[in-house]
Copies of this chain bind each other. A is one copy, B any other.
């Protein structure tokens, strides 16, 4: 068991911190991979570093990637992040916060690192329920990526099977939080907000904050992360 390595994509958010705890609980020696990709804030990556340290990962890479060609997303450019009613109205279709091909780029780096580490397992905290508008959070996308990756690499050619694990893909936010709490995840260290304050406090009103707060509320828990103010439910 202890010889199995896994790459875990770690954004610093609630989902990826839970995915990391699951990978370690499943007996993998975790190697965390985070990205700086032109976010307007580095609070997430700082959170990822703290989470990785506390989890005692085997290694943590913070890769700087230049996505200057992406003008189209609220998370990389200067588009206003939707809040409140506007965020709630986004439930249909693909949200403005969708970053083109983000998971594909992130998973591709994970495949590269897996090849170097001789690892055959990648964990990603995607969720198809809460993020049904994101094409690259769907199970059929993950299956296609896995098939592609097994043709892309030396290890694949040699007959090793790479697997992309998505333990959260069909869970509600409340279920994710319950699983994470059971595994000892400190959600006070995680950051999910699309538009935090300079001090790292969540806005409480963006799509991501609302989903997260709803998840804690469903379980009768309060979110230990810092907020500027909380939206009415």
A111-155 vs B, CB cutoff 8 Å, 1 = contact: the mask equals 111011000000000000000000110101100110111011110
Residue of B whose beta carbon sits closest to that of A61: B69
A206 to B32 CA separation, bound complex (whole angstroms): 36
Pairwise interchain contact A104-B135, C-beta atoms closer than 8 A: no
A99 → chain B, closest Cβ, in Å? 8
Residue of B whose beta carbon sits closest to that of A112: B101
Residues of B within 8 A of A145 (CB): 148, 152
A101 → chain B, closest Cβ, in Å? 4
Pairwise interchain contact A61-B72, C-beta atoms closer than 8 A: no
Q: CB within 8 A of A136: which of B107, B136, B152?
A: B152
Q: CB within 8 A of A116: which of B66, B71, B109?
A: B71
The size bracket of the interface on A is 35 or more
A67 in contact with B105 given A116-B100, A141-B151 (CB within 8 Å): no
How many copies the complex holds: the figure is 2
Pairwise interchain contact B141-A154, C-beta atoms closer than 8 A: no
A86 to B63 CA separation, bound complex (whole angstroms): 34
Pairwise interchain contact B157-A152, C-beta atoms closer than 8 A: no
A50 interface hit (Cβ, 8 Å) = no
A140-177 vs B, CB cutoff 8 Å, 1 = contact: the mask equals 11001101110111101100000000000000000000
Q: CB within 8 A of A108: which of B61, B104, B141?
A: B104
Pairwise interchain contact B116-A112, C-beta atoms closer than 8 A: no
Pairwise interchain contact B100-A154, C-beta atoms closer than 8 A: yes
Residue numbers of A with Cβ under 8 A of B are 33, 61, 63-72, 94, 98-105, 107-109, 111-113, 115-116, 135-136, 138, 140-141, 144-145, 147-149, 151-154, 156-157
Kindly list the 3 A-B residue pairs having the minimum CB-CB distance in the complex, ordered from nearest: A100-B115, A101-B112, A144-B148
